[in-house]
């Protein structure tokens, strides 16, 4: 019962958040200068042509009226038609979403593995040079933002020592027809190892750029949390029972230490998804973020709105998953 | 009979120099209860931790021997030491609220190390856990094994920790103030339980407390610790009739009894404190020399 109520509250607050986002985006992109219609038409177009097209897209009405019309359509699942690409926004956006999801999840996986390993290492060898190395490494990784890491990686592995693909999502020469846009997921299911290799080769650099700062955050937080947990009585007790130091860290301390880290990683993951906008551009990766930049350049109002709403939805979803995981991993809440 | 635990001239110091334990020696025989008393900060817990190998990182053993079942723990490699301790000794901790892992069910917290470290079968470990939970008077042990720690009271948790301590049939139990974190009404029961379990299993018990009343009830012998130094080491009866050291006398005088119910209100006389401080300073000089 309490669970159902908290779920309903969640749903309502999500709806309110999305509505707020929609209002802000709607107003902001109409207030900034730049006329999408004028950009569509060839230079010789007459004022009458512009007015006709403006009416077709509804831009001749007041912002308030436009918003009501747009909202009415959205409720029915219609996000309008892209001005620059002349296709339904929902179709465009959903086609690109899998690419961004795969990239973000890959980056998150790398960050968790890398940051987790660093935290465990720093805890196992605390008080030694190894811990110092972890601290310094994490500090440095954190002081450089993801897009600069992207540039560094491009210079290193794209220019100086070109072993990875630094452009696109997949080699065009590859002979495969996908039935979904989840290329990596599908390639794994179909056991096409050549395709998996090619996809990973394209993804690794942008994913790494996104992952490095998050890995550093995880390393610092988890190590701190582990350190505090290592002083607790039940960890000491496990030690007196003959367990080795790393068995104590992994089996006794870790399950508790991940809890405070988890919440923050959730928040940071939404930042990471935001980071895909620039990183995808940098690596010409055909995802949502790359499309978002084109949409802004072309003043493609319906498309911008659609993408922003989708990002907002994604963020709330991530938070929901984190909250659920927290309950699953924490027995004190599971039975409450 | 050879004592099961024999601590010889143990010295422990802070890594940056300060002495925590000075030449501590004490013996605990199988089947006997040895009390360890002294005021807060005297170093009682550090003795237990030295034996179990769980000293805080800021501290280190600077000298002495710790003989456990005929082996000097300080002369064997750490991995081997940890295995020996795990197989022959166990700790009953002070605070049952923090001594159980909150993310894991009770059952595995008792049985896992029997399987992992001591190589028992799962079924044996399970049966042993049920048997012990019954022995510590937990109703419906099968259900409790599936509970998480937060679902149980402090008294229940301490019973579980006692059961867990005895699970691997250890010959030495170290109990570090096992009742101070509990409700007064539960303290007596837990104390009784520990004494009963010790008697039934015939293990050696090192019992850390600052309550002389408790010591008089359960111990066969005791060591009085002051500022990291054993100032008196005596059989129970001798101690209560004829305490030798002035600090012991002050301690006894400060313990409320039927004949002297206000005893706890008397401070330790300054002359006694001065005398002990002098001794300690002398000892330090000798130790440094
Ligand atoms: N982690 C640590 N770092 C530095 N000094 C410590 C540490 N732990 C304990 N000490 C010092 O060691 C001394 C002995 O502490 P110990 O815990 O053994 O006292 P105790 O006799 O058990 O006292 P209590 O009755 O309060 O439990 C104290 O003076 C304390 O300041
Ligand atoms: Mg203590």
pLDDT at B288 over 70: no
Tell me what pLDDT residue B281 has: 61
* Cα B256 → chain centroid: 23
Tell me what pLDDT residue B256 has: 58
A330 at interface of B, judged by CB pairs closer than 8 A: yes
- A89-109 burial code (b ≥16 CB/10 A, e <16): bbebbeebbbbbbbbbbbbbe
DSSP for residue A26: H
- What number is the ipTM of this complex? 0.82
pLDDT, tens digit (0-9, with 9 covering 90-100), for B181-224: 888 888 889 999 999 999 999 999 999 988 888 888 889 999 99
Q: Whose CA is nearest to atom 27 of ligand 1?
A: B40
Distance from CA of A236 to the nearest CA of B (A): 7
Lowest mean per-residue pLDDT among A251-265, B236-250, B271-285? B271-285
Q: Which band of pLDDT confidence, cut at 50, 70 and 90, is reported for residue B269?
A: low
A241 at interface of B, judged by CB pairs closer than 8 A: yes
Please tell me whether residue A88 adopts helix, strand or coil conformation.
Answer: strand
Q: What is the DSSP string of A62-73?
A: -HHHHHHHHHHH
Q: What angle do CA A131, A137, A143 make, to 5 degrees?
A: 135
Q: Which residue of B has its CA nearest to A254?
A: B103
Instruction: Tell me how far the alpha carbon of residue B109 lies from the centroid of ligand 1, in angstroms.
Output: 28
Query: Mean pLDDT in chain B?
Result: 86
Q: Which band of pLDDT confidence, cut at 50, 70 and 90, is reported for residue B238?
A: confident
A238 at interface of B, judged by CB pairs closer than 8 A: yes
Tell me what pLDDT residue A46 has: 79
Q: In the numeric block, which tokens belong to residue A6?
A: 């908290």
DSSP for residue A210: H
- A284-315 burial code (b ≥16 CB/10 A, e <16): ebbbbbbbbeebbebbbbbbbbbbbbbbbebb
Structural contact between residues A100 and A288, judged by C-beta atoms closer than 8 angstroms: yes
Tell me what pLDDT residue A152 has: 92
Tell me what pLDDT residue B276 has: 65
Task: Enumerate residues lining ligand 1, CB below 6 A.
Answer: B 14, 20, 38, 40-46, 56, 58-59, 210
Tell me what pLDDT residue B45 has: 93
Q: Which band of pLDDT confidence, cut at 50, 70 and 90, is reported for residue B8?
A: very high
Percent of chain B with pLDDT over 70: 88
pLDDT, tens digit (0-9, with 9 covering 90-100), for A216-248: 999 999 999 999 999 899 999 999 998 998 899
Ligand closest to B20 (CA) is 1
CATH number at residue B81: 3.40.50.300
Query: Mean pLDDT in chain A?
Result: 88
pLDDT, tens digit (0-9, with 9 covering 90-100), for A162-221: 888 778 888 888 878 888 889 999 989 988 888 999 999 899 999 999 999 999 999 999
Lowest mean per-residue pLDDT among A101-105, B154-158, B233-237, B279-283? B279-283
Atom from ligand 1 closest to the CA of residue B42: 21
Q: State mean pLDDT over B157-179.
A: 93
Q: Which of A127, A128, A229, A233 to mutate to test the interface with B (most CBs of B within 10 A)?
A: A233
Name residue, tokens 């401070």. B267
B33 at interface of A, judged by CB pairs closer than 8 A: no
Q: State mean pLDDT over B253-276.
A: 58
Which domains can be identified in chain A, with CATH numbers? 2-75 (no CATH), 89-335 (1.10.3720.10)
Name residue, tokens 């101690």. B239
Radius of gyration of chain B from its Cα atoms, rounded to whole angstroms: 20
Atom from ligand 1 closest to the CA of residue B47: 18
Tell me what pLDDT residue A70 has: 87
Lowest mean per-residue pLDDT among A9-18, A29-38, B12-21? A29-38
B80 at interface of A, judged by CB pairs closer than 8 A: no
pLDDT at B263 over 50: no
Domain ranges, residue B228: 5-288
pLDDT, tens digit (0-9, with 9 covering 90-100), for B19-47: 999 999 999 999 999 999 988 889 999 99
Q: Which band of pLDDT confidence, cut at 50, 70 and 90, is reported for residue A86?
A: confident
Environment of ion ligand 2 (residues, CB < 5 A): B 45
Tell me what pLDDT residue B255 has: 67
Number of domains forming the structure of chain B: 1
Please tell me whether residue A81 adopts helix, strand or coil conformation.
Answer: strand
Q: What is the DSSP string of A100-148?
A: HHHHHHHHHHHHHHHHHHHHHHHHHTTTSHHHHHHHHHHHHHHHS-HHH
Q: In the numeric block, which tokens belong to residue A234?
A: 């039940």
Q: Whose CA is nearest to atom 25 of ligand 1?
A: B40
B147 at interface of A, judged by CB pairs closer than 8 A: no
The interface residues of chain B toward chain A in range 35-54, judged by CB-CB distance below 8 A, are 52-54
Report the alpha-carbon distance of residue A172 to residue A182 in Å, rounded: 16
Instruction: Tell me which of A28 and A120 has the higher pLDDT.
Output: A120
Distance from CA of B133 to the nearest CA of A (A): 18
Q: What angle do CA B247, B252, B256 make, to 5 degrees?
A: 140
pLDDT, tens digit (0-9, with 9 covering 90-100), for B40-74: 889 999 999 999 999 998 999 999 999 999 999 99
DSSP for residue A156: I
Distance from CA of A143 to the nearest CA of B (A): 31
pLDDT, tens digit (0-9, with 9 covering 90-100), for B91-147: 999 999 899 999 999 999 999 999 988 899 999 999 999 999 999 999 999 999 999
């Amino acid at each position: 019962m309490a669970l159902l109520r908290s779920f309903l509250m969640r749903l309502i607050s999500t709806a309110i958040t999305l509505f707020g986002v929609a209002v802000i985006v709607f107003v902001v992109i109409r207030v900034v200068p730049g006329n999408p219609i004028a950009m569509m038409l060839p230079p010789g177009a007459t004022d009458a042509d512009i007015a006709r097209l403006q009416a077709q897209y509804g831009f001749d009405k007041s912002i308030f009226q436009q918003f009501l019309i747009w909202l009415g359509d959205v409720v029915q699942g219609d996000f309008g038609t892209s001005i620059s690409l002349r296709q339904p926004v929902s179709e465009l956006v959903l086609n690109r979403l899998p690419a961004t999801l795969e990239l973000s999840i890959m980056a998150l996986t790398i960050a968790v593995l890398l940051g987790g390993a660093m935290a465990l290492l720093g805890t196992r060898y605390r008080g030694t040079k190894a811990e110092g190395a972890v601290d310094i490494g994490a500090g440095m990784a954190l002081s450089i933002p993801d897009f600069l890491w992207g540039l560094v990686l491009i210079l290193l592995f794209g220019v100086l020592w070109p072993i990875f693909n630094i452009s696109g999502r997949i080699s065009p020469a590859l002979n495969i027809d996908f039935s979904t846009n989840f290329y990596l997921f599908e390639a794994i299911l179909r056991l096409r190892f050549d395709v998996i290799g090619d996809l990973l080769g394209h993804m690794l650099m942008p994913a790494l750029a996104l992952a490095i700062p998050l890995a550093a955050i995880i390393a610092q937080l988890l190590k701190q949390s582990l350190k505090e947990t290592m002083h607790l009585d039940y960890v000491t007790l496990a030690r007196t029972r003959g367990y080795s130091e790393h068995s104590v860290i992994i089996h006794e301390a870790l399950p508790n230490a991940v809890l405070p880290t988890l919440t923050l990683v959730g928040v940071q993951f939404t930042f990471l998804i935001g980071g895909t906008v620039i990183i995808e551009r940098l690596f010409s990766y055909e995802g949502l973020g790359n499309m978002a930049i084109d949409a802004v350049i072309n003043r493609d109002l319906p498309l911008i709105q659609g993408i922003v709403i989708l990002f907002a939805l994604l963020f709330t979803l991530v938070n929901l998953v984190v909250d659920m995981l927290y309950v699953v991993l924490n027995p004190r809440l599971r039975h409450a | 009979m050879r004592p099961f635990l024999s601590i010889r001239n143990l010295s422990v110091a802070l890594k940056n120099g300060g002495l925590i334990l000075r030449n501590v020696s004490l013996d605990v025989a199988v089947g006997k209860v040895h009390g360890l008393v002294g005021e807060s900060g005297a170093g009682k817990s550090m003795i237990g931790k030295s034996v179990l190998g769980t000293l805080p990182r800021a501290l280190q053993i600077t000298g002495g021997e710790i003989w456990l079942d005929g082996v000097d723990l300080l002369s064997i490699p750490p991995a081997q030491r940890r295995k020996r301790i795990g197989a022959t000794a166990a700790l009953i901790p002070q605070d049952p609220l923090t001594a159980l892992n909150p993310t894991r069910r009770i059952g595995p917290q008792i049985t896992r190390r029997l399987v992992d470290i001591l190589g028992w079968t799962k079924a044996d470990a399970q049966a042993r856990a049920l048997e012990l939970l019954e022995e510590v008077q937990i109703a419906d042990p099968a259900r409790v094994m599936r509970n998480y720690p937060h679902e149980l009271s402090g008294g229940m948790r301490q019973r579980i920790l006692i059961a867990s301590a005895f699970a691997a049939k250890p010959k030495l139990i170290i109990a570090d103030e096992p009742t101070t974190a509990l409700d007064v009404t539960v303290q007596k029961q837990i104390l009784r339980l520990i004494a009963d379990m010790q008697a039934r299993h015939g293990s050696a018990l090192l019992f850390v407390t600052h309550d002389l009343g408790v010591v008089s009830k359960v111990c066969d012998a005791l060591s009085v610790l002051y500022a990291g130094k054993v100032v008196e080491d005596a059989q129970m009866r001798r101690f209560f009739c004829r305490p030798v050291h002035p600090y012991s006398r002050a301690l006894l005088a400060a313990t409320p009894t039927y004949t002297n119910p206000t005893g706890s209100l008397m401070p330790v006389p300054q002359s006694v404190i001065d005398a002990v401080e002098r001794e300690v300073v002398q000892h330090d000089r000798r130790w440094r020399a």
